Structure 1
Amino acid sequence: MKGIIFTEFMELVEEKFGLDVLDDVLEMSGDEGIYTSVGSYDHRDLVKLIVNLSKKTNIDPATLQQVFGQTVFNALLRSLPNNAGINNSDSTFQFIRHVENYIHVEVKKLYADAQPPKFHFISENESEMVMDYESARCMSHVCLGLIEGCANHFGETIEVNMVPQTDDNSVVRFHLTLS
C-alpha cells in the first residue's frame, strides 16, 4: 500500500483526535509511525492502526475507515498528475470508471508491486451504477468513504448500498444511486 495512505491517516488522527491519541495508537500498534508518501508498506499495518484507534476512541473500525476515505479523497486527487484526465470527468460515475480504467492501470505501471483494488462494473445508467469492489485488503468502507468524498467533490448526492459478496468482504457489491 502506498505511503500517502499512511501519512494521510496519521494527519487525520492527529487533526481529529490530537497528537497524544496518535502517539498512543502508534504505541499500541508497535509502530514507529515513520512513513514516506511514496514508499510502499504492508496494508496490515494500517489495519492495525485503525483497530487500535477504534479501541482508543470507541468508534467502530468501519466508521473510521469510511471517514478516512472521505478525507483522503482530496489528498489523492491532489496527488494525481495534471495529465491524469480528471478534467475529463464531470460526475462521480465518470470518475469511478476513470479510476479503474486509467488511474489503477497507471499506478501498476509506476509501481510494479502495487495491487490496487479492482472495480467490476455490472450495470450503469444516468442515475445508477452497480459495481463490485474487489480487494484482498478487505477495506470496502474506505472505498465507501472515497465514493462519498468523490460525490462531494462533484456536488452530487449519492445513496450507497453495500452488499458483501464473499464472507471475508474481499468482494463487495456497491449499488450507487444518484439522488
Structure 2
Amino acid sequence: MKGIIFTEFMDLVEKKFGLDALDQLLLDAGDEGVYTSVGSYDHNNLVRLIVQLSKQTGIAAEELQRVFGQSVFENLYQSLPKKSHLQCCTSSVQFIRLVEDYIHVEVKKLYQEANPPRFEFISENETEMVFDYKSARCMSHVCLGLIEGCAQHYGEVVDIVMHNNDKSGNDVRFKVAIVG
C-alpha cells in the first residue's frame, strides 16, 4: 500500500484526536510511525492502526475507515495531474468510473508491485451506478468514505448502498445514486 495513505491517516488522527493520541496509538500498536508518502508498506500495518484507534476511541473500525476515506478524498484529488481526464469530470459518477480506467491503471504503471482494488461495473448511467469493489485488503468502508468525499467535492447528495458479495469482505457491491 502506498505511503501516502499512511501519512494521510496519521494526519487525520492528529487533527481529530490530537498529537498525544497519535503518539499513544503508535505506542500501543507497536508502530514507529515512520512512513513516507512515496514508500510502499504492508496494508496490515494500517489495519492494525485502525483497530488500535478503535479500541482507544470506542469508535467502530468501519466508521473510522469511512471517516478516513471522506477526509482523504480532497487531498488525493488535489494530487492528480492538472491535465488529467479526471479534472474534466462534472459528477461523482463520472469520477468513480474513471478511477478504474485511469487512476488504477496509472498506479500500476508507476508502481509495478502495486495491487490497487478493482472496480467491476455492473450498470451505470449519468446519475447512478452499480459496481463491485474487489480488494484483498478488505477496506470497503474506506471506499465508502471516498465515494462520500467525492460526492461532497461535486456538491452532490448521494444514496449509497453496500452489500457484501462474500463473507471475507473482499468483494462488496456498491449502488451509488445521485439524489440531489
Same-fold call, TM cutoff 0.5 = yes
Q: Does 1:156 align with 2:143?
A: no
| Secondary structure, counterpart of 2:83 in structure 1 | helix
Percent identity (aligned): 63
Structure 2 match to 1:86? 86
Structure 1 unaligned blocks of 5 or more = none
Spell out, residue by residue over 1:20-44, the C-alpha distance to the aligned partner (whole angstroms, 9 max, x if none).
1111110111100000000000000
Structure 2 unaligned blocks of 5 or more = none
| Secondary structure, counterpart of 1:145 in structure 2 | helix
Structure 1 match to 2:167? 167
Spell out, residue by residue over 1:111-166, the C-alpha distance to the aligned partner (whole angstroms, 9 max, x if none).
01111100000001233210000000000000000000000000111010000001
Q: Does 1:33 align with 2:61?
A: no
**What is the CA-CA distance between 1:84 and the residue it aligns to?**
2.4
**What is the CA-CA distance between 1:87 and the residue it aligns to?**
2.0
2: distance between equivalents of 1:83 and 1:105? 16
TM-score (normalizing by structure 1) = 0.98
2: distance between equivalents of 1:43 and 1:146? 17
**What is the CA-CA distance between 1:86 and the residue it aligns to?**
1.8
Aligned-residue RMSD, C-alpha: 0.7
The size of the alignment, in residue pairs, is: 179
| Secondary structure, counterpart of 1:82 in structure 2 | coil
Whether the 8 Å contact between 1:84 and 1:103 is mirrored in structure 2 is: no
TM-score (normalizing by structure 2) = 0.97
**What is the CA-CA distance between 1:178 and the residue it aligns to?**
1.2
Structure 1 match to 2:54? 54
